Chains A and B, each alone.
Chain A
């Protein structure tokens, strides 16, 4: 059974700082998604990573995928308050028609 674990689960940081959220998964997959959820809202797709070594960047967020290490990272650069949200990684199980989600990382950025 595929397990997806995010670390940390809670993160409080100051504006202007850098930090990284880690997503480890337990079985082979070469397709991983990052989603953002604002409080009381739905989930919004941020990135899709399709192959080993894939790197995607949007503004202050950068995501990468290492399929050999079964690890994805979401790096936040010079955080701003607007990035406060819960971030989920989700791993595609080929042929199983489902994404397996991590527990989510609740990120709070303080002014």
Chain B
């Protein structure tokens, strides 16, 4: 089954404790992206990747890092989480660029930073 898999689904952590949210897709998509969803703001792009070793900032990259060492994986790293990073995070992938085909979304990771 074609899917984007995120882990974990829920995460509660404390300020400053490094964490990684994993994302994997099995569709051989070149494009992958991370979004955060906050009430009243819709989804905002954090980082995206056009292919292996090619990443770039989105609209809200501060406090986040990403890597793309393999085509299928695109982890999101929070080196020193802060409470304002409490949010619902979605990984997404598509064939080609962001607008060339519909994005396939993972199931989301709800992060709480206390």
Contacts and interface: CB of A to CB of B under 8 A. Distances in A.
A97 B50 CA distance: 8
A101 B98 contact: no
Interface residues of A, number: 23
A92 B105 contact: no
Contact of A98 (B59, B101, B108): B59
Given A42-B90, A43-B90, A94-B99, A101 B106 contact: no
Interface in B13-50: 31, 33, 35, 40-45, 48, 50
Interface core residue of B40, B50, B99, B108 (most chain A CB under 10 Å): B99
A43 B26 CA distance: 18
Interface residues on B, range: 20 to 34
Contacts of A74: none
A92 B94 CA distance: 13
B103 interface: yes
Given A42-B108, A97-B31, A98-B59, A33 B102 contact: yes
B56 interface: yes
Nearest to A103: B42
Contacts of B106: 42
5 contacts: A41-B107, A42-B105, A42-B107, A98-B33, A98-B98
A99 B58 contact: no
Given A97-B31, A98-B48, A99-B103, A92 B98 contact: yes
Interface of A: 4, 9, 31, 33, 41-45, 48, 88, 90, 92-94, 96-99, 101-104
Contact of B99 (A9, A45, A99, A102): A99
B56 A97 contact: yes
B97 A97 contact: yes
Nearest to A99: B98
Nearest to B58: A98
A71 to B, nearest CB: 17
Nearest to B104: A45
Contact of B42 (A94, A98, A102): A102
